[in-house]
Structure 1
Amino acid sequence: MFKNRIEAGLFLAAKLKKYKNDPSVILAVPRGGVPVAYTVAKELDFPMEIILTKKIGHPLNKEYAIGAASLTNYFVLPHKDVTDEYIQSELKRIRIRLKEMKQKFMGDKEPENLMGKTVIIVDDGMATGNTILNSVNVIRKSNPKKIVVAVPVASPDAIKKLSIEVDEVITVFAPATFYGVGAFYDNFMEVNDDEVLFYLDKMHKLSPTN
């Protein structure tokens, strides 16, 4: 049981020390993953930014993900009911939203170049793993050296699912009986946009270029 996301991040950072000498980038899953990722990035002196990806939903059920998109890449699993016109329409809609998120959270800062780097995706936990899996499939197109998924707590099913898709899955706690991510935190209050901006600003001030 973690007190909060900051404590969870400290435990996670200890598990990630072996990557300290790698050229690494921390990618935080917004919004709950941001305090965890900030703590990891601060402890290991890695750059951090948020993942700008969103799922592409099926036309008959938007909650059912058939792929994901970033501002520059996307992937889609083939479905006979899904037309190219629909995909292009969704890409346009999603990228408008992603541009709004980028402007709000990153301003004019360009995203980190992931090519040849160890990309460490951080969230506050994984129940199904589907959210991170969607992001992994997009991030892979940026040609990183390694993709590592790091979360304080995860279900065995999520770990199994992601382990065949990435170079390593690192977790502090992997309970056999999983009741949901929030069950493993004393304080699991929802993280809002202002808190995301707070941690991103703190990260910016820690940067040696500032």
Structure 2
Amino acid sequence: MVFKDRKEAGELLAQAILRKYDSTLKNPVIVAIPRGGVVVAEPIAEILNAPIELVIPRKIGAPFNEEFAIAAVTEDGYVLMNPSVTDEIAYRLGISKDYIERKTLEEIEEIKRRKEKYLQGKTKVNLQEKDTILVDDGIATGLTVKAAIMSLRRENPRRIILAVPVMPADKVSEFQQLVDDLIVLYAPEFFNAVGQFYQSFPQTTDEEVIEIMEKFHP
């Protein structure tokens, strides 16, 4: 299965959500992970007549190798370590407690900067006792999405529904245990990168995110 683009993936997810829940959702809020997740979230918000809120988890890269994610952090300071980073690997890569604390503070500042840019000072949507639908354009390792889930739990939503177009088959049961429900359109056995399941997968711009949030964030 290959999606035409993020918009089509969002439309298909919206249809899947409607089929499963019909009209039983209680005050749904779509929580998107920027940037690509916001484009997927737009048609879902439109069809469900729901607002979009943002959650912006950030990866913490290893020293001298930013691409290798050793942890993920959220705006409220929740840090989720990569379980594959053992004490031995941490020692070999030079990952110290001080390094993680310093990078955590840096990434929290970056999250705040992005949130201000995307939301233009708008007030946060209250998720308490609301059906919260967490959306991204796909899951590969899942580290940042897991951090986002843990952060959302602290806001006491009625339930967290994770809705993604694609994720590896071997991650499905793991994520089913982390959320109240999981909606995934395609979970292939062979998975290299999220982009391989889209015909068009350009990098989403800040301007696109701002434009969508102006329409769907109250």
TM above 0.5: yes
Instruction: Call closer, same or farther: CA 1:177–1:93 in 2, change over 3 Å.
Output: closer
In structure 2, the residue matched to 1:164 is 177
Whether 2:163 is the aligned partner of 1:150: answer yes
Tell me by how many angstroms 1:33 deviates: 1.0
Structure 1 CA distance for aligned equivalents of residues 7 and 141 of structure 2: 22
Q: C-alpha deviations, 1:118-148, integer Å up to 9, x for none? A: 2211111112222211211222222222111
Matches within 5 A, 1:10-25: 10-17=11-18, 18=21, 20=23, 21-25=25-29
Instruction: Call closer, same or farther: CA 1:115–1:168 in 2, change over 3 Å.
Output: same
Structure 2: runs of 5 or more not aligned: 88-94
- Contact (CA 8 Å) 2:72, 2:143: kept in 1 or not? no
Tell me by how many angstroms 1:14 deviates: 0.9
In structure 2, the residue matched to 1:48 is 52
Percent of paired sites with the same residue? 35
Q: Bigger shift: 130-139 or 27-36?
A: 130-139
Tell me by how many angstroms 1:82 deviates: 4.7
Tell me by how many angstroms 1:35 deviates: 0.9
Whether 2:110 is the aligned partner of 1:69: answer no
Structure 1: runs of 5 or more not aligned: none
Whether 2:132 is the aligned partner of 1:119: answer yes
Instruction: Call closer, same or farther: CA 1:127–1:86 in 2, change over 3 Å.
Output: closer
Whether 2:39 is the aligned partner of 1:35: answer yes
The amino acid of 2:14's aligned partner reads A
How many residue pairs match? The answer is: 203
Structure 2 CA distance for aligned equivalents of residues 87 and 147 of structure 1: 28
TM-score (norm 2): 0.81
Structure 1 CA distance for aligned equivalents of residues 58 and 32 of structure 2: 13
TM-score (norm 1): 0.84
Structure 2 CA distance for aligned equivalents of residues 190 and 167 of structure 1: 30
Instruction: Call closer, same or farther: CA 1:134–1:57 in 2, change over 3 Å.
Output: farther
- Contact (CA 8 Å) 2:50, 2:216: kept in 1 or not? no
Instruction: Call closer, same or farther: CA 1:113–1:88 in 2, change over 3 Å.
Output: farther
Residue 184 of structure 1, aligned match among 197, 204, 207: 197
In structure 1, the residue matched to 2:9 is 8
In structure 1, the residue matched to 2:91 is none
Q: What SS does the aligned partner of 2:132 have? A: strand
Structure 2 CA distance for aligned equivalents of residues 66 and 125 of structure 1: 19
Tell me by how many angstroms 1:105 deviates: 0.3
In structure 1, the residue matched to 2:108 is 95
- Contact (CA 8 Å) 2:78, 2:147: kept in 1 or not? no
CA RMSD of aligned residues (A): 2.5
Structure 2 CA distance for aligned equivalents of residues 7 and 172 of structure 1: 12
> Which ranges of 4 or more aligned residues in structure 1 deviate by more than 4 Å?
56-62, 76-82, 85-88
- Contact (CA 8 Å) 2:7, 2:40: kept in 1 or not? yes
Instruction: Call closer, same or farther: CA 1:130–1:53 in 2, change over 3 Å.
Output: closer
